[in-house]
């Protein structure tokens, strides 16, 4: 899958969020991908995992990142490494936008979405408020 079709798939999956490609093979990388993601308040990316690791560098905003079942608070300045194969999802809990960079050491990381982990069959949160209350 090329970067353009991969980004189309990812954009379809995001809720109230956008993703832009900062660096990819088409722009000169040999084996990595750097994405810029922005989520409006309550925006999120549904649970998914990758075949390689992912490094998230948060620039601005506040959110909760679930890695497996473990919730972690994230904010501007936070850096988190997600191991290969570990399901994760991100939710903007702040009043402003949540802004981050995502580094993938693989140029075309696989995205495996995980319906049912925290979500219903449409891959949307069953009840975000309940989920967040548990995480606080």
User: By C-beta, is 52 or 54 nearer to Zn ion?
Assistant: 54
Q: Identify any residues that bridge with 36 across adjacent strands, giving them in sequence order.
A: 20, 101
Q: Which is nearer to Zn ion, 54 or 98 (CB)?
A: 54
Q: Is 117 exposed, middle or buried (0-12, 13-18, 19+ CB in 10 A)?
A: middle
**Contact characters 69-108, Zn ion, x per CB under 5 A:** ----------------------------------------
Which 16-75 positions form the footprint of Zn ion (CB under 5 A)? 54
Query: Site residues (CB under 5 A) for Zn ion?
Result: 54
């Amino acid at each position: 899958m090329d970067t353009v079709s991969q980004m189309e798939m990812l954009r379809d999956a995001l809720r109230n969020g956008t993703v832009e490609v900062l660096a990819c093979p088409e722009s000169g990388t040999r084996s990595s991908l750097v994405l810029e993601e922005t989520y409006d308040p309550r925006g999120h990316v549904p649970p998914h995992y990758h075949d390689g690791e992912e490094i998230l560098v948060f620039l601005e905003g506040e959110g909760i990142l679930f890695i497996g079942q473990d919730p972690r608070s994230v904010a501007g300045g936070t850096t988190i490494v997600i191991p290969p194969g570990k399901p994760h999802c991100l939710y903007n809990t702040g009043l402003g936008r949540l802004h981050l960079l995502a580094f993938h050491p693989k140029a075309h990381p696989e995205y495996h979405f995980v319906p049912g982990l925290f979500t219903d069959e449409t891959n949307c949160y069953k009840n975000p408020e309940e989920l967040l209350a548990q995480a606080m």
